[in-house]
Structure 1
Amino acid sequence: MADRHHSGLLAIWISLISNIVLTILKIAAGLLFASPVLLADGVHNAGDIIATVAALTSSMVSKKPADDDHPYGHGKAEVVASAFVAVILVLAAFWIGFQSIGALFEPPGQENGLALGAAVISLIWKQALYLYTIRVGKATNSKSVLATAYDHLADVYASLAAVIGIGIGLIGDRFDWEWAGYGDPVAGIVVSLLVLKLAYEIGRDSVDILMERNVATEKLAYYEALLRTEEQVKRIDRVRAREHGHYIIVDIRVGIPHDYTIQQGHDISRQLKKLIMDYDKDVVEVMIHLNPWEENQRSRH
């Protein structure tokens, strides 16, 4: 668990430093070469810095051990940060869309090869960051790292649109296609829609976790299958599980023979907890309620 935490923090630190560098690069190039989509992308990157700082802070908080005030741990701090990233992306989407639509009513600007170079560098850099952080996020099940990864993906969309828009503008300048000068802002509008869709998906996932939605049906079914392997379990009354940030808490109710001793019930509970936690390394707590079962009752669900 400590190694996973270290990997997640490293990924967020790399993302933070990269966002600072890319923000300076994009805003400077956007202002210098009057590129609306590149400037808007740079402002979006500035928002990414705030989002990444939030992800970094939440990742540190989420790893704090449980205490009297937070008996289930601090894992949901990551989910709050994920929701914050979604809000940042929504604001970025509206900003990019607003700037791009405004540019459609202005005379088309003269594109520059250096602006295209800046967009290409951003595209390659952000794609590499996305692939790295999504791999670390899935390996650590860290919501803050996953949110950072999807934030990078939004930047990939923006940078790709900048490359296409500026590229079309350069081709238009070469062949005197006046309409091509609007490729830059049109690409920006497309990006705003893609970023808005991504924000919705991140926000929906965060709300689901905060509302303690059950984990995937397939995972619950496998938990039940594990419980059925224990002969002492005669009935499965309920299996529930919820994500709590980067870890899962499972709640089960099972029936065992009514004449078992407290010690036997305790031993069965420990065995069931071990079964589930050995199968799913993301599970940190299994709460078990034992119900009495008699011979004339149904043996299993």
Structure 2
Amino acid sequence: MTYEGPKALFTAWVSLISNLLLTLIKLIFGLIFHSTALIADGVHNGGDVIASVATIGSMKLSNHPADREHPYGHGKAEDISTAFISIILTAAALFLTYEAVKALLGPVSSVSIWAFGAALVSALWKWLLYIYTNQAANRYHSKSLQATAADHLADIYASIAAALGLGVSWVGNILHIPYTHYGDPVAGIVVSILILRIAVIMMVKATNVLMESSVDEKDQEKYREIFLSFPEVKNIDILRAREHGNAVLIDAQIRIPASYTIQEGDDLTEAIRSKMIHEYPDVEEVLIHINPWYEDQKLIEPESVPHLKNK
């Protein structure tokens, strides 16, 4: 594990404070200049504030050590947070769609250059936040920060669309170009679809982890190669790997020569475990069960695990 709690938590606090400030800026400018796009985007950012609070809480909880009630630790708290953020994004996408359709059908309103400027500042601010948070998520292997970075990316789309719509409407009002007032709501609908797509992807990933689904086959094959790099391992009966928060847990049943002593078997499993964790820092635990192997024994790997068949 390379997850660094305090540093990752600092990144989450930066996102929270930024979301608070952006929410205030958008709502104030939106209400003063009667901008539907900015008000909707401000409400969206208000949802981000709730998501940021959930992220900080889940990160603190996931850093708690294992206890009697949670012998595998609290790592899945971050996956729960990711699912929660995806729900917030879904609600925001639906709200933005509603506001965009209402603006599309409602009376035409004038657009201020200040509202346009606020949307541009928000897009730039969120772009910088996305780069900062995404780098931190990769560095600290934090799923909550990955979800927050995805949320920032969705906000960039929303702010750019708001700025584009406001800009088109503003220029159209000045030059008296017909139908340009539709730029804002049409852009809002497009952005809502993009945000909804990100939310669905995040929810699917979080649900897979919470449902104890296996890691993808490419990672399974990498783990398998580590086992087979030891000539003493004659066969892999079962190999399972699943995500647990920011960590990966591996369970395996292998066959080694029946003539090996208990001490030799223990030394071998410890060597495999050490090599696995050294090459893949996100692997937190490797449980290995040993079965005997005989020279004349014909082994058939279980069909219930088709990706483990010998090549």
Which category describes the TM-score, using the shorter chain as reference length? over 0.9
> Judging changes above 3 Å, is the alpha-carbon distance between structure 1 residues 116 and 148 closer, same or farther for their aligned structure 2 residues?
same
Once the two structures are overlaid, the 10-residue window that deviates more, 215-224 or 121-130, is 215-224
**CA distance, structure 2, for counterparts of residue 278 and residue 150 of structure 1:** 29
Equivalence for 2:154: 154
Q: Partners in 2 of 1:32 and 1:40 — Cα distance?
A: 14
1:50-70 Cα deviation digits (max 9, x unpaired): 011001000010111111111
Query: How many residues were matched structurally?
Result: 301
Aligned mates of 1:298, 1:119 — CA distance in 2: 68
Q: Which residue of 2 aligns with 1:28?
A: 28
Aligned-pair CA distance for 1:6: 2.3
How far 1:139 moved relative to its partner?
A: 2.1
In structure 1, give the amino acid aligned to 2:24: I
Mean Cα deviation higher: 256-265 or 144-153 = 256-265
> Which residue pairs with 2:38 in the alignment?
38
Separation (CA, whole Å) in 1 of partners of 2:190 and 2:223: 43
Residue in structure 2 matched with residue 58 of structure 1 by the alignment: 58
The one-letter code sitting in structure 1 at the alignment partner of 2:141 is: N
Q: Does 1:227 align with 2:250?
A: no
Structure 1 residue 3 displacement after superposition? 6.4
Give the letter for the 1:283 counterpart: V
Q: Deviations over 1:22-64 (max 9, x none)?
A: 0000011111111111110000000100011001000010111
* Kept in 1: contact 2:3–2:141 (CA 8 A): no
Unaligned runs of 5+ in 1: none
Partner letter of residue 132 of structure 1? Y
Question: Once the 2 structures are TM-superposed, how far is the Cα of residue 155 of structure 1 from its aligned partner?
Answer: 0.5
The equivalent of 2:120 in structure 1 is 120
Q: Which residue is 2:182 aligned to?
A: 182
Could you list the per-position Cα deviations for residues 117-163 of structure 1 after superposition, in whole angstroms to 9, with x for gaps in the alignment? Answer: 10011000001111111111122221111111111111101100011
1:226 to partner: Cα distance: 1.3
SS state of the match for residue 292, structure 2? strand
* 8 Å CA contact retained: 1:240, 1:251: yes
CA positional deviation for 1:228: 1.2
Corresponding residue for residue 306 of structure 2: none
Q: Secondary structure at the match of 1:284?
A: strand
- Give the AA of the match of 1:161: A
- Distance in structure 1 (CA, Å) of the matches to 2:240 and 2:8: 27
Distance 1:286 1:3, change over 3 A: closer
Tell me, in whole angstroms, the C-alpha distance in 2 between the residues paired with 1:185 and 1:3: 42
Helix, strand or coil at the partner of 2:4: helix
Aligned counterpart, 2:304? none
1:185 is displaced (CA, Å) by 1.3
Distance in structure 2 (CA, Å) of the matches to 1:179 and 1:269 = 71
Tell me which residue corresponds to 2:266. 266
For normalisation by structure 1, the TM-score amounts to 0.97
Letter in 2 for 1:155: D
Aligned to 1:101: 101
| Contact in 2 for aligned 1:239/1:251 (Cα 8 Å) | yes
Q: Conserved in 2, the CA contact under 8 Å of 1:162 and 1:188?
A: yes
* Aligned residue identity for 2:104: L
Q: What CA deviation, in whole Å up to 9, does each residue of 1:101-124 have, x standing for no partner? A: 011121111111111110011000
**Other-structure match for 1:169:** 169
Q: Is the 8 A contact 1:37 1:187 kept in 2?
A: no
**Counterparts of 1:187 and 1:13, CA distance in 2:** 30
Contact kept, 8 Å, 2:123 with 2:159, in 1: the verdict is: yes
Indicate if the aligned counterparts of 1:140 and 1:246 stay in contact, CA closer than 8 A.
Answer: no
Alpha-carbon distance in structure 2 between the residues aligned to 1:183 and 1:189? 10
- The offset of 1:218, in angstroms, is 1.3
Which deviates the most, 118-127 or 29-38? 29-38
Instruction: Give 1:4 shift.
Output: 2.1
Residues 69-84 of structure 1: matches in 2 within 5 Å?
Answer: 69-84=69-84
Is 1:145 the counterpart of 2:153? The answer is no
Residue 260 of structure 1, CA deviation: 1.7
Structure 2, unpaired ranges of 5+: 302-309
